[in-house]
Amino acid sequence: MTQTFDRHRRLRRSAAMRNLVRENHVRMEDLIYPLFVVEGSNVKNEIPSMPGVYHLSLDQLAIEMKEIVEAGIQSVIMFGVPEEKDACGSGAYDDNAITQEAIRQIKEAYPEMVVIADTCLCEYTDHGHCGVLQDGDVDNDESLKLLAQTAVSQAKAGADIIAPSNMMDGFVIAIREALDEAGFTHIPIMSYAVKYASAFYGPFREAANSTPQFGDRKSYQMDPSNSREGLREAASDVKEGADFLIVKPGLAFMDMVVRLRENFNQPIVAYNVSGEYSMVKAAAANGWIDEEKIVMETLVGFKRAGADLIITYHAKDVSKWLKG
């Protein structure tokens, strides 16, 4: 018989053959695990909408970190949830605030762990917005001063990377200049460059207690309908000195992971957000999906799209699955 078609199945005949020709892999060193720290002691409260994710006081964080290190996770991103909030989010840039204390504790116990500090005001303001208010609106330029102060405080505590998530215009250059002036020229900035005003953040807002008390964040986070705008946002951040570029949410906006990969040489980070996590957990709990296969397909999809790193609440589960 004359061959009239290509026999692609030759490279799929066995597991060993498929392993041999696999193009993309998910590795533990690609994953960044989010942590939520709270004040008090002996607090380990599961977040209802995010099974397996907890509010942790510092004593419980120490126990959690042992488990994280044993799982092979090499990077964490820190979110602080203070008891007291005010209009200007002063808990964000207090050198003795919960986030700074947690960073110091982790770096002292595990100096090799990469600790990333989320830099925003929404967890610390009583109105829940990512900056300070003026006449009922977020004042962009006044917010930059407090965000820069927050970044320096987090760097002083030992953060290895500053990750500003507030989406104020000029946030990267304001933080870069403040870090440099404070002697932290070696600290990179992982910018939430392409961050959409997304409904996928619902569970996170419960976790971070950061739901806006009025209005929404659509005047500073991006319209989910736009993609060219994302390229402009990323270009501004690169010009201002961003060392990494985040796309958030990752799964719903995989096209932006591809477009950033094609247009920029900085490491690209996909944020596999809380809503994506919660939907998988809910469907798995009902027996509707195979959780492991769904998660691994999702993560390798990020890699295929061009992500170098993935922020994901699934990281501890992935560790178990990769070990078999």
- What interhelical angle do 315-323 and 291-305 show, nearest 10? 100
Length of the chain equals 324
Q: How far apart are CA 178 and CA 164, in angstroms?
A: 13
Copy the structure tokens of residue 46.
């599961």
Catalytic residues: 195, 248
β-strand pairing of 114-119 with 75-81:
parallel
Write out the two tokens for 137. 């609106």
Q: In whole angstroms, give the CA distance from residue 259 to residue 247.
A: 10
**Other beta carbons less than 10 A from residue 158's beta carbon:** 17
Q: Residue type at 34?
A: P
The full 3-state SS of 227-241, as one line of letters, equals CHHHHHHHHHHHHHC
